[in-house]
């Protein structure tokens, strides 16, 4: 029985890997993401582990997927685009607001020295923490809480990424950027065009620019009911 099962299990793993490689090539590289470090990480993180079991067959589809609690895991291209825009280096300390399933944190965990991620939905925070721990992402810390205030105890951060859309950029997140730091965040009201916005703390002050239109779930404040 063991000999019969082993090839099937390996074939399954090979099929998932092929789908992951195809995702990177067709959905990400061909759309203009060229940072080889980002592409390599997207090839290695098992996205199927970060979605509900019934959604696993669609883990590498070119679409966001529901992860429960009214939240989604972003389309693979958007994860890669925002990660490239963030410009993470190996010695950076990164703050993520909106852990969700933990997939973006896993991607960041392979690029940065330390990742601190905040999730307001208790069930998502617990689930992400469990999966990240099981997969060995020891440099990622998950905290349940309101991400509007950032994570002041560990500030300043070299990079900050937000995975839900507020109407305006939270001032505490800008204040927690280190000199030379960068924040990547979708900004805009629900039902209107939202824009990926890149904020940088430069010697001349804080500057911001918009890049591409997107559609994210709203930025949640306070304790969800």
- Concatenating the DSSP letter of every residue in 60-91 gives TSSS-EEEETTEEEPPHHHHHHHHHHHT--TT
Residue 97 near residue 183, CB atoms below 8 Å: no
**Helix pair 2-22, 36-44: axis angle to 10 deg:** 150
Residue 168 near residue 192, CB atoms below 8 Å: no
Residue listed under structure tokens 């800008």:
174
The Cα 98–Cα 218 span in angstroms is 11
E strand or H helix at 51: none
Burial class (CB in 10 A: 0-12, 13-18, 19+), 16: middle
Neighbours of 72 (CB within 10 A): 20
State the catalytic residue, choosing from 44, 74, 90, 101. 74
74 is a catalytic site residue = yes
* Catalytic residue numbers, as ranges: 74
């Amino acid at each position: 029985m063991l000999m019969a099962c082993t090839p099937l299990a390996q074939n399954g793993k090979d099929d998932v890997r092929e789908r992951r490689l195809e995702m990177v090539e067709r959905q990400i590289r061909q759309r203009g993401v060229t940072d080889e470090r980002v592409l390599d990480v997207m090839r290695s993180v098992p996205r199927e582990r970060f979605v509900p079991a019934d959604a696993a067959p669609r883990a590498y589809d070119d679409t966001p997927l529901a992860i429960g609690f009214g939240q989604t895991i972003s389309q693979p291209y958007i994860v890669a685009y925002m990660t490239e825009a963030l410009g993470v280096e190996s010695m950076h300390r990164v703050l993520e607001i909106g852990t969700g399933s933990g997939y973006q944190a896993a991607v960041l965990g392979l690029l940065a020295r330390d990742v601190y991620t905040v999730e307001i939905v208790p069930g998502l925070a617990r689930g992400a923490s469990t999966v990240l721990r099981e997969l060995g992402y020891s440099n990622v810390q998950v905290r349940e809480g309101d991400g509007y205030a950032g994570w002041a105890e560990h500030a300043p951060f070299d990079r900050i990424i937000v995975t839900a859309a507020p109407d305006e950029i939270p001032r505490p997140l800008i204040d927690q950027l280190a000199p030379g730091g960068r924040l990547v965040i979708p900004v805009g009201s629900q039902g209107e065009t939202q824009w990926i916005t890149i904020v940088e703390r430069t010697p001349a002050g804080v500057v911001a620019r918009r890049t591409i239109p997107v559609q994210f779930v709203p930025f949640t404040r306070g304790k969800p009911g």
